Structure 1
Amino acid sequence: MKLRFITNIIVLICILAMGCQYTAYGQRINTGYIYFGDKYKYEDAVNNTNNSLDTVYPSYFDIDQDGNLKITETLDEDFINDMHGRGIKVVPFISNHWDRDLGRKGLANRDNLVNQIVEAIEKYDLDGVNIDIENVTDADRDAYTDFVKMLSETIDSYKEISVAVAANPNGWTYGWHGSYDYEKLALYSDYIFLMAYDESYIGGPEGPVASIQFVENSITELLKYVDNDKVILGIPFYGRYWKVGDSYGGYGASLNRIEETISKYPSDVVFDNISKSVKATVYKDDGTYIYWYENEESIIEKIKLVEKYDLKGSGSWSLGQEDKSIWNYYSRWLEGEYLVDIYDHWASDSIYSMIDNEIMNGVSNMYFAPNDNLTRAQAAVILTRLLGIDEEYITSDSFDDVSKNYWAYNEIELAKKYGLINGKEENKFYPNDPITREEMATMLSRLIKDDYSDDNIEFNDVNDDMWSSDYINKMSSMNILKGYEDDMFYPNRNLTRAEMATIVDRILKYNIKYKK
């Protein structure tokens, strides 16, 4: 009996009998299938990933007409050695390429097929096997499970066994989806690779390949049977397209090919906030086409689910189809750092603190805009969140330039009601105007009741005759709003979003109240 099987039995007993939680360990992993192109393109596909990969699943193992193992022409021992030199595991996937007859022949011949796989792993110094037998049915469920069980009992325990399973948000137990006994497959393998895509498909109606609802529902259904630290979330590096007016569509296209098409032809591209996917309407010479696909923003939304459910990691189908720019940030996304413009920023710790405390957000899923000026509307939102003021039914219309449809309407009205921010002139708020440092010193002074030293902190550009001098002195003496190394405060300088994050991060430790 192999160590993998014994360990998994112990874990299962622990979960079922004692109710203990088997938690993930170590960092999340990132995997990727390699399928398209000849063996010389495999290395290019890995080179593009900016050292973001832990494991590659190359297309080395097929099933022949007799159900035996067929080594593909893409197997390259130089590539395997190169990957090992980089610390990347090479775990080839065995596939029937959607051919039900081949899949069944392989399962029927599983005694021989298992031995052939083990021999190939040893011969070529491979790191295990990924099983990707698709389009068999619930009639093959027991044979499929037994095949994986036999592999777990034969392959060395330090070699990976992973199984690719279909997205199954509806919990179907028949057809292709019924071929997977998720609980037992997890018991006999190291990882379950959730193919969370093909919500739309060739011949089907127009729609996203992997809407956020489809992906999340697939995760929660799988987690009924599989522990989270065994689940790898598969992300599609392809999209699908339909020609308007045609009765048949849903053809696949790589992400990089779609981006090329959009740049070549007039296109309307929108990020659909419901599905968290991208839809492009492309106007070609021969007609109008609809593309649904993934970009950086939609991929981030899926990776957020890895963090939300504490999954083992992510994977992709397939390397080489993506926009290479995602690899500039992918490792950070996988560790929960989604805002690309604050990496290595001087205020990054305070910015993350603001996000964790739900006081400030990014301006989008990818950007915080740390060096942009803080606006009056943003200041109103931050201060009301800081105080925990949340009243839903605001009926007053204090400012002519802030309509009820304005994104910060409620917070601006609340800020006025509680004396945090007033208008700049009668009936005018100027929500998009920047906040200066002396204005923020004034606003914050209204909040903090703690005693402070009244010793003046001298700045070369602040004197007692200034309307804001007392407020500046209070905030400076409390070490909340600081001056600069040249002994200047720069009261009229616009405050940036990064500076505001740092200020509020300092202020969280103080006892704050509003003045009614």
Structure 2
Amino acid sequence: MKNVKSVLWMILAISLICNSSIPVNAQTKLFNMSYLFFGGPSGYLRQVDATKGSLDVVSPNYFDINKDGELDITWTLQSSFITEMHRRGLKVVPFLSNHWNVSAGTNGLKNRRALARAIADAIEKYKLDGVNVDIEGVGSTYKDDHTDFIRLLRQYVPKNKEVSVAVAANPNGWKTGWHGFYDYKKLSEYADYLMIMAYDESWESPDSPIGPVASITFSERSIQYALTEGVPKDKIVYGLPFYGRIWKLDGPTLENIKITGRGISSTRVEDAIEEFNGKVQFDEASQSSYATFTIPKGKSFFIGSTKLTQGDYIIWYENERSIKAKLRLPNKYGIKGTGSWALYHETPDTWDYYSLWLNGSYFVDVTSKHWAEGHIHYVSQKGWMTGRTSTTFSPNTPLTRAQGAVILIRALGKEQLKPREYHFDDLKGHWAQEEIELARELGYLDGKAPNKFDPEANLTREQLAKILYQIFDYPLDAGVESAFSDISADRWSLQPVMAIYHQGHIGGYEDGTFRPTNKSTRAQMAKLMELMSKDIEAIKNET
């Protein structure tokens, strides 16, 4: 079975290379690292396996600073794991942590010369590839000591080994507190890169606002701050969270535990939503997802050892759409790549698309030369159209009537509504029944008969025009003439086609035809949706 999987994976890899618009080395074009902290060393190899070759560096929790400011090699270090990573071509760069212990952090900086030497010796002894310094919670008065510690590490650690620094995200340019502890510019003079911990925009505290772990604006401003401070682009690594945060909206649990921003693994969010019939929404402004649900009396749900009991809850979390939005930023700003906190908490499908989106190849079957590339990427990021899989869009595949209805309901922000009545007999048990019935109820579309919709039939160009005409009610002069040789004055679709045509949203072919009964493809729908985006947003904002 293992050999079969290996062959299938090789075929997929070759397919991605052949179809991608980016260079052959796209999987490693932009840098990607992640931390190993959860699950224990016995599971570290499985966690790396799950990334499907997406990483360049793994950063396990091998180095701690104890209360006296000295280096502790943790029990999690295993030489066999290091050897296996090297065999795979991955670097092992453990992170050095004080785990928010201020005394350990400050004592380590006071003892920085001895600490730096001990780290350099451990790197050599265990055949490691460097160190990632992650000292947190120490105030800005120790900023220069921290910078000097990195200078010493760079002096003692061989030049072919990595010295990197995890730094607090600083979107507001704070100069005091623990954010002011990190001198971005000077640190970058000694470090190979800074890993910006661009998460915890909300945090676990009654003082935290209820909201995203990392909104898109928080993320962008965190990168912009590093650039403004003079950090070279090739020394900026942008960190993504693989977790969400949960709040109880109506007081403490029955055990008198207040849930105010408690961290929750991305792998557990869907479980909670499914078990308690949660309502999922996507916030366009922050490009983040959130879910609300109610635990009824007598039921419970565990986050680790914390028991959630009856009441109303909200989770802000990362899903495919929000992560894909963040994966656009390294290319947008031309920085080195990404990091993440932490393995074990990402959903398994994350690695199906991570490397592709990080490297600007959003769908393997939509190359940079495809006529609809820009339109497809636009509607994908808006969430109006999704891929057939996380890495394929199938641009030339015909749209079905069901798919067209779902896309429009989603784009117009109506997906949370429910139909009052069900008219179509051929939709019972169909995946799109509610969206189609809702679209009928809103006056967007008609069936082929009073009780028949024919959901899997292809959506023709003229049918799509009629649906859009019924939604947007574009004005049209009386007695309008056809602009197309194959749409006669008495054809039922003349008015809707010409109304959309006069808006500049739809056109014909070079031979002067419209081809009304031709199938609408997914690529054509993507283009049309972007062209109509202002009108779509206007309708959406009316409610």
Scaled by the length of structure 2, what TM-score is found?
0.67
Map of 1:214 onto structure 2: 218
User: Is 2:180 the counterpart of 1:178?
Assistant: yes
Is the contact made by 1:229 and 1:312 (CA closer than 8 Å) also made in structure 2?
yes
1:105 partner amino acid = N
- Classify the secondary structure of the residue corresponding to 1:157: coil
Map of 1:445 onto structure 2: 511
Distance 1:493 1:104 in 2: 71
1:35-68 CA deviation, whole Å, 9 max, x = no partner? 1121111111101101111000100000112100
Write the mapping of 1:350-429 to structure 2, written as runs, cut at 5 A: 350-351=369-370, 353-356=371-374, 361-363=378-380, 366-367=386-387, 368-373=393-398, 402=468, 406=472, 419=483, 425=492, 428-429=495-496
User: Is 2:246 the counterpart of 1:241?
Assistant: yes
- Alignment partner of 1:338 out of 349, 352, 362: 362
- Classify the secondary structure of the residue corresponding to 1:174: coil
Q: Are residues 132 and 426 of structure 1, via their aligned partners in 2, closer, same or farther at CA, if it must alter by over 3 Å? A: closer
Q: Are residues 401 and 82 of structure 1, via their aligned partners in 2, closer, same or farther at CA, if it must alter by over 3 Å? A: closer
Q: Are residues 310 and 363 of structure 1, via their aligned partners in 2, closer, same or farther at CA, if it must alter by over 3 Å? A: closer
Distance 2:525 2:32 in 1: 35
- Classify the secondary structure of the residue corresponding to 2:228: coil
Map of 2:149 onto structure 1: 147
Q: Are residues 41 and 429 of structure 1, via their aligned partners in 2, closer, same or farther at CA, if it must alter by over 3 Å? A: same
- The alpha-carbon deviation at position 222 of structure 1 amounts to 1.1
Q: Are residues 405 and 232 of structure 1, via their aligned partners in 2, closer, same or farther at CA, if it must alter by over 3 Å? A: farther
Q: Are residues 168 and 419 of structure 1, via their aligned partners in 2, closer, same or farther at CA, if it must alter by over 3 Å? A: farther
- Classify the secondary structure of the residue corresponding to 1:307: helix
- Any unmatched runs of 5+ in structure 2? 1-27, 253-257, 297-309, 388-392, 405-464, 501-505, 528-543
- The alpha-carbon deviation at position 417 of structure 1 amounts to 11
Is the contact made by 2:164 and 2:192 (CA closer than 8 Å) also made in structure 1?
yes
Is the contact made by 1:400 and 1:427 (CA closer than 8 Å) also made in structure 2?
no
- Classify the secondary structure of the residue corresponding to 1:429: helix
User: Is 2:273 the counterpart of 1:269?
Assistant: no
- Alignment partner of 1:303 out of 310, 314, 327: 327
1:294-318 CA deviation, whole Å, 9 max, x = no partner? 0111001011111100111111100
Q: Are residues 143 and 81 of structure 1, via their aligned partners in 2, closer, same or farther at CA, if it must alter by over 3 Å? A: same
Write the mapping of 1:121-200 to structure 2, written as runs, cut at 5 A: 121-200=123-202
- The alpha-carbon deviation at position 287 of structure 1 amounts to 1.1
Map of 1:202 onto structure 2: 204
Distance 1:400 1:36 in 2: 54
- Classify the secondary structure of the residue corresponding to 1:33: strand
Is the contact made by 2:34 and 2:58 (CA closer than 8 Å) also made in structure 1?
yes
1:232 partner amino acid = V
User: Is 2:235 the counterpart of 1:230?
Assistant: yes
Give the structure with higher Rg (CA): 1
- Classify the secondary structure of the residue corresponding to 1:444: coil
Taking only the aligned residue pairs, the percentage that are identical comes to: 44
1:415-452 CA deviation, whole Å, 9 max, x = no partner? x999579895377417999xxxxx98x53334xxxxxx
2:317 partner amino acid = Y
1:445 partner amino acid = D
Map of 2:345 onto structure 1: 321
1:446-504 CA deviation, whole Å, 9 max, x = no partner? 4xxxxxxxxxxxxxxxxxxxxx6xx99xxxxxxxxxxxxxxxxxx955253458999xx
Scaled by the length of structure 1, what TM-score is found?
0.70
Map of 2:76 onto structure 1: 74
Is the contact made by 1:266 and 1:284 (CA closer than 8 Å) also made in structure 2?
no
Runs of 4+ in structure 1 over 6 Å off: 420-423, 430-433, 499-502
Is the contact made by 1:138 and 1:173 (CA closer than 8 Å) also made in structure 2?
yes
